[in-house]
Structure 1
């Protein structure tokens, strides 16, 4: 499992030595590139170096125990050996976590969440609003940055569509498995007979790429302006600050009209477009990996039902791992960590061959 880390570690040591060469200061571009590569490798190289060092100390301690004739000294050496083995195992677990994070791409700084109301009419749109509020509360609890991007509202205050970005350490790690179909069972506010209805919404998690990862050519874009403000919006039909961007090669269309500034709307639309294009690339890679390992956590397909929220029973069930919790009220208040952590742990065990 650690074979790839060995090559990364050797490359890290090579860069460490090269960066000490005074002659390198005359080549700023090369110096910058090497320093950036070293910084990226350090995330795994330094922990791997500690793992190797502990392995050497264990070998030395084993030799000392075997050669020590004095009982008291040997007992002391054996206790030290046990401590070293414990630390070595713990460092190995740290490395496994790093390998998983690297494979899963969970070290990304941010993501875009898109929620769309599904079957259920107004109730589905209200549920989409509830999901948006749930994720916002979770972001607040985790001290992440939450930024609204686009929304299409209904007369009852629900969302036909809503998108927002969440940025912060660990944001993608915790939310990576939220893509899919979310089903709600409850008595709608529009129901006069007290009957329980079933509605649905779909969630898409789009990791925000770095600009260098997705190159968008200007000639591939068609940019149209439109009236700002959605249905019933305060500034409806007053200004042409809304923006529609069409990416011609892929056919992806992004509308953004929340801001009064055309420049801000265009910037938001480009962020969403960049994430959707990146998601296409990632989706292909995810499909190939899923086909190879038949993941139990779910492919993230937006048509796949992943979770049910049953309000009368105060129950939330994640169908991918068979987890049921009777604290739906707290989950809707943003206490998502126990649920998302269970999904992460399951996927980690599967990817590392522990399931």
Structure 2
């Protein structure tokens, strides 16, 4: 990482540290225990970063002094001391810079890149049709129903953020905000990937089994207090909703499309009648996608081979097959089959999740 880029990142976090230092002593923050705990946790993490930045700045000042002596001092002995000191300073700076790359990432995205630290969070669940046309759209609806039945079993709540209907039936895409007791993301993260279905479509007249696929992406929900997005980096478009909501929705441009310019990530929300509410929901999804994008990018940059592929969140990985003729669900990551397709599609998925958890923790 270049020094100018590193210093700029340090400066941003240093400024945030001082802002949080002032915030956590304010009465309205102290009285809000949830907010106070989040800010205090962030304060403690940033405190370590600021201390390292102070050390880094001192080393840079010492380097300037050593360079000045080497350039301007006529005493050979002083030059030799400065030369040795400069080499040591350069080694120290290099060491700090190598460590700072990960350190700055962990503190810019507060829970770091290890999924386990996100397990307590609520989740954003995105379902999209893949290969298979109308049959894939129908399967999105089936999987959506499966998850809703599961949410009822475990006592979680969900809200539809965005929905795009299929050509005939089902959904091309649907995005949910899922909340509940701690562990929502910790359970649902195992659902990320390609879900494949093998069955006879309703439109198939000759009884042939077809294979279709959908993708599921589960993202940890990131609050605005934890990750700030510059408004100047966001392009906002409004349009008339094509979803439910009656005449009111169609008469007003209540739907919102947000594009994060640096990453080109785009989010749409049209489920609320209020443009303001749609904006808030879209921002919530945008934060989660940017956070997930940074995590995945970090894995690639560092070339870390995961201990397990169970919860990578990689949408291109085929994770599960739902075979209707044989009444079987097979999870390919752990080579486990359950022969109760009807029960599974009615939300009885906890057994599979528990097995995936065991595999992840081995």
TM-score bracket for this pair, using the shorter chain length: 0.5 to 0.7
- 2:153 equivalent in structure 1: 141
What is the TM-score when the length of structure 1 is the normalising length?
Answer: 0.67
1:122 counterpart (114, 117, 134): 134
Residue 282 of structure 1 and its aligned partner are, at CA, apart by 2.3
User: 2 CA distance for matches of 1:163 and 1:258?
Assistant: 10
What is the TM-score when the length of structure 2 is the normalising length?
Answer: 0.66
Secondary structure of residue in 2 paired with 1:176: helix
Tell me if 1:300 matches 2:301. Answer: no
* 1:251-274 CA-partner distances (Å, limit 9, x unpaired): 111111122211111111111111
* 1:58-111 CA-partner distances (Å, limit 9, x unpaired): xxxxxxxxxxxxxxxxxxxxxxxxxxxxxxxxxxxxxxxxxxxx8612443300
Residue 28 of structure 1 and its aligned partner are, at CA, apart by 3.5
Secondary structure of residue in 2 paired with 1:212: coil
Pick closer, same or farther for the CA change 1:37–1:293 going to 2, 3 Å.
same
Residue 244 of structure 1 and its aligned partner are, at CA, apart by 1.0
Residue 189 of structure 1 and its aligned partner are, at CA, apart by 1.1
Pick closer, same or farther for the CA change 1:296–1:225 going to 2, 3 Å.
closer
Q: Is the 8 A contact 2:163 2:171 kept in 1?
A: yes
State the superposition RMSD in angstroms.
2.9
Q: Is the 8 A contact 1:227 1:238 kept in 2?
A: yes
Greater alpha carbon shift after TM alignment, 208-217 vs 193-202 = 208-217
Q: Is the 8 A contact 1:214 1:277 kept in 2?
A: no
2:355 counterpart (331, 342, 350): 342
2:177 counterpart (165, 168, 173): 165
- 1:253 equivalent in structure 2: 266
Secondary structure of residue in 2 paired with 1:140: helix
Tell me if 1:309 matches 2:322. Answer: yes
Tell me if 1:229 matches 2:211. Answer: no
Pick closer, same or farther for the CA change 1:191–1:37 going to 2, 3 Å.
closer
User: 2 CA distance for matches of 1:335 and 1:290?
Assistant: 36
Tell me if 1:190 matches 2:208. Answer: no
Q: Is the 8 A contact 2:160 2:176 kept in 1?
A: yes
- 2:104 equivalent in structure 1: none
Residue 248 of structure 1 and its aligned partner are, at CA, apart by 1.0
Q: Which runs of 5+ in 2 are unaligned?
A: 1-23, 42-113
Query: How many residue pairs end up in the alignment?
Result: 262
Residue 286 of structure 1 and its aligned partner are, at CA, apart by 4.7
Q: Is the 8 A contact 1:134 1:334 kept in 2?
A: yes
Secondary structure of residue in 2 paired with 1:295: coil
- 1:268 equivalent in structure 2: 281
- 1:150 equivalent in structure 2: 162
